[in-house]
Amino acid sequence: MKISVVLPAYNEEENIEELTKRLSNTFKKLRISFEIIYIIQGHHEAVDILVKLKKSIPEIKYSYYEKPLGIGKPFRIGFNSISKNTTHVLTMDGDLNHQPEELPLFLKKMKETNADIIIGSRYIKGGKMLKMPVWKKFISGTTNIIINLLFHFNVKDKTSGYRLMKREVTDNVKDKYTSKHFEFYPEFLIRAKREGFRMEEVPITFKFREHGKSKLKLLSSGFGYARMLIKVLLK
């Protein structure tokens, strides 16, 4: 097994060092081969940090873009950058919302169920959200309800970005989604479901960021989710 972590990061220089070290430590404890692929956008300070970290964590790979690319495009760049011998892909947020130490739960669930995608869920028993603003809970919860109604989707947390996937999933879906921003997350799962991939969930503890600014905006995100749903329904 080799896991490629794909991590878009826009102005996350305050979080990137801790996240990288915790990821590396988690993989080394599990004795799993890995690489960490960053798609850095915005401030160059994050690149400077990665250059220093790479001396002790050679598994780091990165590309840099001065202007923000959104979310969908950076993930596609990352999916296209994974090594040939990669067997699984892990996606996470770059702001320490997701805890690398919970990865064993994903691996155990995948082994038990042989599912193609394991989703870190805030909305199943055992899932937690710490310090998350009410309006963000509203956007996420409402989006999940609407998708359930439209697509009869039994996944509870379709907006979660913490996912472990078999490589076949990203190879088949990476060129099918069209979303540019946060609506990428549910669209990816909808496309994967249409391709016949099976999904399971594990509970996670979602911690709202302590450093940096959130990029999720109420109005633009609402319109983005609506556009995505219309596109997916029509095609």
pTM over 0.95: no
pLDDT of residue 42: 94
Consecutive sets of 10 residues in the chain, 235 residues long: mean pLDDT of each?
A: 97 95 98 98 95 97 95 96 98 94 98 98 90 68 75 85 98 93 90 95 86 48 57 58
Q: What is the 3-state secondary structure (H, E, C) of the chain?
A: CEEEEEEEEECCCCCHHHHHHHHHHHHHHHCCEEEEEEEEECCCHHHHHHHHHCCCCCCEEEEEECCCCCCHHHHHHHHCCCCCCCCEEEECCCCCCCCHHHHHHHHHHHHHHCCCEEEEECCCCCCEEECCCHHHHHHHHHHHHHHHHHHCCCCCCCCCCCEEEEHHHHHHHCCCCCCCCCCHHHHHHHHHHHCCCCEEEEECEEECCCCCCCCCCHHHHHHHHHHHHHHHHHC
Total structural domains within the chain: 1
**46 and 9 Cβ atoms separated by less than 8 Å:** yes
Task: Give residue 39's domain range.
Answer: 2-234
pLDDT of residue 219: 46
**Which tokens hold the place of 121?**
């869920």
pLDDT of residue 183: 86
Looking up residue 59, the CATH number of its domain turns out to be 3.90.550.10
pLDDT of residue 148: 75
pLDDT of residue 62: 97
Looking at the DSSP bridge assignments, the partners of residue 37 are 6, 61
Looking at the DSSP bridge assignments, the partners of residue 164 are 90, 118
Write the CB contacts of 123 (distance below 8 Å, at least 6 apart in sequence). Answer: 141, 144, 156, 157
Which long-range contacts (C-beta less than 8 Å, at least 24 apart) are formed by 173-178?
173/197, 174/75, 174/76, 174/79, 174/80, 175/76, 177/72, 178/72, 178/228, 178/231
